[in-house]
Structure 1
Amino acid sequence: MTWDAEQKMQFLFALRSKGVTDARALGAMEKVDRGMFVKGHFEARAYEDMPLPIASGQTISQPSVVGLMTQALNVQPRDKVLEVGTGSGYQAAILSHLARRVYTVDRHRRLTRECEKLFESLDLHNVTVITGDGSFGLAEQAPFDRIIVTAAAEDPPGPLLSQLKEGGIMVLPVGQSDAVQSLIKVTKTPDGLDYHELCPVRFVPLIEGVAQE
């Protein structure tokens, strides 16, 4: 499914109405058709502002949350970004239009395989997809300018904080998986970590280990 001009206009209007106002974030989201990332009988709802089920029991986040996370991350053109939780690949595709390099890790091999094929078909050559346990980050590519986590942990994972550059930003949902979680922006300063709460959200839990499929 691909979007037409009217769908795109309504989609961007909905994002702005939910507080996504950063021009670069909106520009990147305008370049990435969410319909390419939603398969099966939910395709018709690809442009609605709602999370939708994808394979492996995961979800594609609602566009306004993706937009708010992208906006908070404030990715710069020279940045190297780590994403923990590839999922459908939608967030990584958006980041690819903002960053120099994106590394995205998921514990579900089925999802990473599908995303590799999709990114290739979309000519997104600055995204590297890795099957692995993202809760430990990606030490061999650290440090990162930006880190985004698309699954909820009770606290920001220590390995991820240690792989964030000084001056870097991490955006992630924090809280118990069955309760209300908060979207948090963490900035690493010379004096320590600066935490800023953005909004309530609901994400799947961050699980250690690699899934069986």
Structure 2
Amino acid sequence: MEVLLLSGTEINVLLCGIEVLLVSETEVKMLLVSEAEVKVLLVSESEVKVLLEYEAEVKVLLVSKKDIKVLLVYEAEAKVLLVSEAEVKVLLVSEAEVKVLLVSEPEVKVLLVYEAEVKVLLVSKKDIKVLLVYEAEAKVLLVSETEVKVLLVSKKDIKVLLESETELKVLLVSEKEVKVLLVYEKEVKVLLVSEAEVKMRLVSGR
């Protein structure tokens, strides 16, 4: 049982098992995760949102106040739906990364439950922030109009991931230093920029 309590802008996550109960003021949202499919019933005022996940296809139904948007994510395909400020913004990652989409009035919150990790997607008016809680680090995904930025927050570091067509660029921004991580097929290149110093480290990816 997983319990997500929403109190203002704070999110507290308690890991207890499979089910997720989201309590936000007067809204009650429940997530049921089974082996082959995921059913999500989101109750917000007079709207009901249902997410059904099947083996090879993920269907996400986003119901906002005035419009309905559907995003389909397949095995090797990821689609990002970005809408204007007043509309709903959604980012879905392929390979069983996105599980649940919760839509509330001011922001879109996504709780992703997959095996032993908990992922929370926070969507503000101008950007999409994904909080991924796995092991001991927190990952935040920022999505702009033309690019996807992943902000990884681990302890005191802020990490930004830029995903392009053939490579992954990770920009790690700390208080006074900037770290750039380039991930290729067989190797990982880490560029550390601290004030006037530039450090490059090659890490073989296995």
TM exceeding 0.5: no
Q: Determine which structure has the larger strand proportion and give its number.
A: 2
Q: Determine which structure has the larger helix proportion and give its number.
A: 1
Q: Between the two structures, name the one with larger relative contact order (CA 8 Å, sep ≥ 6).
A: 1
Q: Tell me the TM-score normalised to structure 1 length.
A: 0.30
